[in-house]
Structure 1
């Protein structure tokens, strides 16, 4: 099943011929109600109900809508692939979201070199803002800061007048507006970037309720597979027989049976510590100390520090690192105890 990637088109004319014209809703609240019925949740990692975000923004003064194409997650490539092959589906969703909330401004926030196609269908002009190549630059509050001309630093706060939507979420909005909530519930897929111990790394479209081993089968998993990191660097280690409850950022990194799960985790935690914006104690001091504890296999210290940084940062970056570390303790306990 590839209902999203099969909508690919080279230009706007081919897009319209394949997918139909941009389905303006015109009736206030129509799109928000359809999204609620469809049960669409965000595909950028937070998994928050999309309709709630639109409804909240729609009642503010001079709302702003932002397409978030910044893919700071090193193991993810889904947004780049989607925007390269289906940009018009993404832009349809952006226009429809802007219509639904009565946007005063519309932005596309993406990596350097992102090209925003000029389209005759659009009613809302799109302003492109370049995203820096950092892990935290795609966090929603950092995106809001960037479009206002400030440094893209994440904060543990949100603004109701700014709607930030991942580009995959916007593409799904466009499909729900075209085909309806019932169609979407029958074609509820997500894009997964699969890498690591697989023969065919790449981006795959899979059912929302999928077993980990299905991802490995698609990408040609190399046996034996010890574990798979699902959800990205803020994700959790799962076993091949587990079912994915929350795909997070849509990332799956397969770990071969001969690899050290603890060593892999230590490298990721060290990277995440280097990517903090150093706005608070948990990031400035807690994450480097946590990286040291993981590298030294100091289980009591790692567990203690994970508890100290979790929920205490200026943003949710420390929470994600703590989640990864706790997951490694469950998945690789024998390595921790050597």
Structure 2
């Protein structure tokens, strides 16, 4: 139950979700009840009224109203005459996000309180909690479950710690014993989720906020924060921060105050909402407050509360290129926009960085995948790349000259160290053998293209796992025996 890998926690104003952390570190059941007190059950009508009164939204990124999710599950269960399953999404697959892991490791009983309230109100058959296989939070959650009685059987399901594994449909598929990837066809969990039953699926912080609101009631819950977005939020502050932290603050708090607390210089831009979010300018950062409405005004989205100031010491577009490659590798590879479009977008961003592609080429590559995927992954990746073009105009002008901006790529945007693009093996070329036959680009066009001289070109990042069979086939079919595939630095 170690919390060594979890960032420190800070608060602006009185803590709610993070109450008791200073005194107890991790709250076991006794400490949890001492800090928060008990909570009684709610009827389904009371649950929906409470959620609507405080405008409780999903904290996993989409921000969908919680009371409408509950209503959809109730209607589906009545129509189908089937029992309900309650699912807690605590997978937090994005490398830049830590807020749910903070709750898992330090306040697991708040998550369980919220799930128990929902299960009791919906007369659910089961509670399922999804966690990642990264070793952070699972033991703490298991210990918390062992300390208490839940209103219905509760179990923990472990899923791969990948970007797309935390998507709601992917989590449901994983619980059902299927591959942990988004379904190719959009299916509402409220209609057919776990075991084909109506399923209430929401994020770990969302259930924790419900547990706080059930104790306080809507009036006291709304005593902090904005009138139309009451309560607190959890932000993960990383990037250039000298003191990275998960920060709990009331809605309406100026973002600049949070960044000052974490000693985080903005530099040329700040990413809000994570790798499916948007970049915003330093000017926008100086005026925005922490709220859905506040970030919408400056063209951003609060998403899951991921906040990454870039700072001044790293190459902005070089950082963007790293993440686009990672996102291309993290796709499910089950539709054209992911299999072909995202690798092409990554290659085009690479070309932009070295000055051999224009901004319009990146926009064109992003437009090909936007709105066409089987899930939201292509859209999110496109949004990330396009917003970078709008914010890092000075850096783009420097790279357009072909000499770059002169700054190293320091890896300020966090990626998994062991698999920066979904795999560990790279392609390389023995240039003493390559004759520019071009067959490899036809065998695996998702990763290899031909340059202006007809020779193979591909990114230096690892080959995505789902493209490894194609890479091996390209190596085996190379008539000059020039292509290599294995561990190493790679090269093109």
Deviates more, 1:44-53 or 1:205-214: 205-214
Deviates more, 1:207-216 or 1:280-289: 207-216
SS in structure 2 of the partner of residue 181 of structure 1: helix
SS in structure 2 of the partner of residue 196 of structure 1: coil
SS in structure 2 of the partner of residue 163 of structure 1: strand
Are 2:61 and 2:273, in contact at CA under 8 Å, matched by a contact in 1?
Answer: yes
In structure 2, do the counterparts of structure 1 residues 242 and 330 end up closer, same or farther at CA, with 3 Å as the change threshold?
farther
Residue aligning to 2:95: 74
SS in structure 2 of the partner of residue 6 of structure 1: coil
Partners of 1:228 and 1:62 in 2: CA distance: 44
Residue aligning to 1:316: 376
Deviates more, 1:302-311 or 1:155-164: 155-164
1:99 aligns with 2:136: no
Partners of 1:275 and 1:15 in 2: CA distance: 37
In structure 2, do the counterparts of structure 1 residues 242 and 137 end up closer, same or farther at CA, with 3 Å as the change threshold?
farther
Residue aligning to 2:52: 36
Are 1:41 and 1:48, in contact at CA under 8 Å, matched by a contact in 2?
Answer: yes
1:137 aligns with 2:180: no
Higher RCO (Cα < 8 Å, 6 or more apart): 1
Question: Which residue of 250, 274, 286 maps to 1:232?
Answer: 274
Alignment deviations for residues 238-267 of structure 1 (CA, whole Å, 9 cap, x no partner):
223141523112111111123222111111
Are 1:58 and 1:102, in contact at CA under 8 Å, matched by a contact in 2?
Answer: no
Deviation at 1:201, TM superposition (A): 0.7
Unpaired runs of 5+ in structure 1? none
Residue aligning to 1:47: 63
Residue aligning to 1:151: 179
Q: Which has the larger radius of gyration?
A: 2
Partners of 1:153 and 1:65 in 2: CA distance: 20
Normalising by structure 2, what TM-score?
0.66
Deviation at 1:121, TM superposition (A): 4.1
Alignment deviations for residues 289-310 of structure 1 (CA, whole Å, 9 cap, x no partner):
0011111113112101211211
Partners of 2:68 and 2:45 in 1: CA distance: 12
Taking the TM superposition and a 5 Å limit, the aligned residue runs for 1:228-267 are 228-238=270-280, 239=282, 240-243=285-288, 244-245=294-295, 246-267=301-322
Deviates more, 1:125-134 or 1:234-243: 234-243
Are 1:32 and 1:100, in contact at CA under 8 Å, matched by a contact in 2?
Answer: no
Residue aligning to 2:206: 169
What count of residue pairs does the alignment treat as equivalent? 336
1:64 aligns with 2:85: yes
Are 2:19 and 2:35, in contact at CA under 8 Å, matched by a contact in 1?
Answer: no
Residue aligning to 1:307: 367
In structure 2, do the counterparts of structure 1 residues 217 and 266 end up closer, same or farther at CA, with 3 Å as the change threshold?
same
Normalising by structure 1, what TM-score?
0.95
Residue aligning to 2:484: none
1:128 aligns with 2:156: yes
Deviation at 1:209, TM superposition (A): 3.0
Deviation at 1:334, TM superposition (A): 2.9
Residue aligning to 2:349: 294
